[in-house]
Structure formats: C-alpha cells, structure tokens
Amino acid sequence: MEHKHIAFIGAGNMAGAIMGGLVASGYPAKAITAANRSEGKLETLADELGINTTTDNLKAAEAADVVVLGVKPNMMEGVVKQLAHLNDGKKLFISIAAGVTLAHFEAWFGKAVPMIRTMPNTPSLVGLGMTGLYASDTTNKDDKAISDMLMRAVGKTAWVKNEIELDHIIAAAGSAPAYFFLFMEAMEAKAMELGFDAATARELVQQTASGAAEMVRRRDMPIRELRRQVTSPGGTTAKAIESFQAAGLEKIVADAMDAAISRAAEMAKEL
C-alpha cells in the first residue's frame, strides 16, 4: 500500500509522541516529516525515529498529503496563515490544539478546509493515550481512517459528532491525567507524612493506581462494584470513602470537569 506523506508542523511533546507511535507501529519513517521552529528537537527526532526534518513549515506541508498542526493554540493563527494557500480541498489538515475551533481554522484558511480536530492526552507519550476526534463536513472516509490510524498509534480513539463535544473530551480525557496526578500527589504527600521514604511513598501510590486502573480495564463490571469489593462493611475503606463523600467528592469532580469545559470555550473566544 502507498503510504500518505504526513507532515507535522510543530514537533513538540504531543506531536513527537504521535510520530514515535507511528514509526513503532510500522509506518515508514520516510513518509513522515517533522517541521519545527528550533532545531534541537528535530535532531533528536531524526536520530531516534529516522524521519525527515526541516525548519521550513511551508516546505514540509507542501510535500505532504496530511498536515498535522501541532503548535500551541496561540501560535496556530500565524502557522495556518502561512500555509493557507496550500488548502486545495485535497490536503487533509489535522489539529491537535485545544480550543481552536473549525470556525477559527476556516477564517484563517480563508475558506472551508478538510480538517479533523483531535483532542489527545499526555499518556499518548507512553502509548496509552485517549484521543477524541471530530471531522469537518469537507472530510471523507479516507481522511477519517488515516486520522484514526494516527491517533491509534498512541492509544485509543473516540469520535464525536458535534464539535462542542471535543470540549467534553477535554474534561473527561485531555485534561484528566492531571486530576489523577493531583490525587496521587496528595496520597504520596500523606504517605510521606506517615513516615514512608519518598521512593516507597511513590511506589505505594503508583502501584496501587496502576493496579486499580488495570482492574477497571480487565474486569467487565461496573467500577462501583470494584469499589464495593474493597469496602468491607464497617471496615477501614468504608471510613475513608465516607470521608471523601462527606467532603462532596462527586460534586468536586463534576465542578472541575465543568471548569475545564468553560475554559475551553473561553480559550476559543480569546483567539
């Protein structure tokens, strides 16, 4: 099969992870080009992955069938305007930026553009990402298939039908690794306060968190039921859970997710 040429504009953490996943999954390195403003990251990518690299965004995008826009949201307008004349209705553009809407892209491109907006998360860096995807009306089946393949190289994918739902993906997956990190930080701090050394405290938290996540993955039962199995009536877990619930944990989590959604909408207005 002829592989489409994919150019990544902005070769930072997230784009680097996707390129690494693609190469690891067997996509030919020769069919991938990374363009970045600075050279340091490009040298590492060329050494580690054997892909093509350049500091010239235009050159990279011109030669590509698929252009992945991987810069920060505040850099996107400048990058897109530089590439706008390449939008011939055939080249597919994929964005990984939070809060940059299709309407922004169409304004910067000056017309409709075949575009897939994606919302990945940082576990993509270790192949355990969760990415939401949304396709503009001007995309076709092949565009969706290649975008799905791209993001499945670093984890799992979920498609949404309405663009607004990408903000819900941010709340439930894009920003969500940080919620678990915060929880783990709090547990680690308390374990150290109880007298465990730093390495042991980290291991207690890390092994328990990955064990719990793995149980959710492997056991085909409601998460509530897994919790019930740990919680002996009148026992220690019951007291800990009561303490969380008395502090309103469910509402705290729901409010935090709403705050992420509101911020995504605000970010879109700021551009």
> Binding-site residue total for ligand NAI (CB under 6 A)?
28
Distance from C-alpha of 271 to C-alpha of 267, rounded to nearest angstrom = 7
- The span of 4-12, 153-161, 188-196, 237-245 binding ligand NAI (CB under 6 A) equals 4-12
Give backbone dihedrals phi and psi of 140, rounded to 5 degrees, phi first.
-120, -175
Instruction: Give the distance between the most distant pair of CA atoms in the chain.
Output: 68
Q: Which is nearer to ligand A1CAB, 10 or 114 (CB)?
A: 10
Residue 37 interacting partner from ligand A1CAB, ligand NAI, none (CB closer than 5 to 8 Å by kind): ligand NAI
Our CA dihedral for 75, 103, 87, 3, rounded to 10 degrees, sits at 80
Min separation Cβ 175 and ligand A1CAB, Å? 5
Does an H or E element contain 105, and which?
helix 102-109
Residue 144 interacting partner from ligand A1CAB, ligand NAI, none (CB closer than 5 to 8 Å by kind): none
Tokens standing for 5? Answer: 């040429």
Residue 85 interacts with ligand NAI (CB under 6 A)? Answer: no
Min separation Cβ 236 and ligand NAI, Å? 35
Q: Parallel, antiparallel, or unpaired: how do β-strands 66-69 and 6-9 relate?
A: parallel
Burial class (CB in 10 A: 0-12, 13-18, 19+), 9: buried
Min separation Cβ 73 and ligand A1CAB, Å? 8
Residue 57 interacting partner from ligand A1CAB, ligand NAI, none (CB closer than 5 to 8 Å by kind): ligand NAI
The binder of ligand NAI chosen from 120, 123, 129, 132 (CB under 6 A): 120
Residue 172 interacts with ligand NAI (CB under 6 A)? Answer: no
Burial class (CB in 10 A: 0-12, 13-18, 19+), 21: buried
Judge whether 261 is annotated as a binding position.
no
Say how many CA atoms lie within 13 Å of 36 toward its Cβ: 20
- The span of 70-78, 109-117, 159-167, 197-205 binding ligand NAI (CB under 6 A) equals 70-78
Residue 36 interacting partner from ligand NAI, ligand A1CAB, none (CB closer than 5 to 8 Å by kind): ligand NAI
Residue 71 interacts with ligand NAI (CB under 6 A)? Answer: yes
Q: Which is nearer to ligand A1CAB, 71 or 170 (CB)?
A: 170
Degrees to nearest 5, angle at CA 260 with 254 and 262: 100
Residue 20 interacts with ligand NAI (CB under 6 A)? Answer: no
Interface with ligand A1CAB by CB under 6 A: which residues?
A: 98, 170, 174-175
Give backbone dihedrals phi and psi of 57, rounded to 5 degrees, phi first.
-55, -45
CB atoms within 10 A of CB 209: 15
Distance from C-alpha of 8 to C-alpha of 27, rounded to nearest angstrom = 14
Q: CB nearest ligand NAI: which residue? A: 12
- Residues of this chain that interact with ligand NAI (CB under 6 A) are 9-15, 35-38, 41, 57, 70-73, 75, 78-79, 96-98, 119-122, 174
